[in-house]
């Protein structure tokens, strides 16, 4: 059975509430946008302290699409405000027998709450590796 985007968004919101986040000293505010025709959805995450306006803290983008074998795949992309240099955090969930959509949604919420992944520094090439890198660069 294929997942509905609106149901999955609700499950993600439940995942946030289950963790009872108190972000930046405020309460979590979630706004949702859905486009059923192109199967895209967005959760805009923010925090509200008192009566102040909502401060954006991140976004979760969802895309549902059908695979060649007729099953559905749901792609979730996680973003954190102020961390544009963080590595991309994407999770694909494939429809299969026994998939627990609620658990998958809860995992996405937990992953977002854990914060952006740390950037992995690239090491410089040394010696013979530099020659291989130059040869590769020449080939394009």
Domain ranges of the chain: 5-139
> Which phi and psi angles does 123 have, rounded to 5°?
-90, 145
Q: What angle do CA 13, 15, 17 make, to 5 degrees?
A: 70
Q: Is the pTM of this model over 0.85?
A: no
**First CA to last CA distance, the chain:** 45
The string of pLDDT tens digits covering residues 25-76 is 678 888 999 998 899 999 999 888 777 788 888 999 999 989 999 888 999 9
């Amino acid at each position: 059975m294929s997942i509905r985007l609106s149901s999955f968004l609700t499950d993600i919101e439940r995942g946030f509430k289950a963790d009872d986040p108190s972000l930046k000293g405020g309460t979590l505010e979630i706004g949702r946008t859905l486009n059923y025709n192109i199967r895209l959805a967005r959760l805009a995450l923010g925090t509200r302290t008192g009566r102040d306006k909502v401060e954006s803290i991140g976004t979760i983008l969802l895309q549902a699409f059908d695979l060649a074998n007729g099953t559905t795949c749901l792609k979730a992309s996680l973003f954190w405000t102020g961390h544009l240099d963080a590595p991309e955090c994407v999770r694909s969930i494939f429809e299969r027998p026994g998939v627990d959509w609620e658990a998958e949604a809860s995992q996405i919420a937990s992953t977002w709450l854990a914060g952006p992944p740390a950037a992995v520094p690239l090491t410089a090439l040394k010696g013979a590796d530099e020659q291989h890198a130059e040869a590769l660069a020449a080939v394009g």
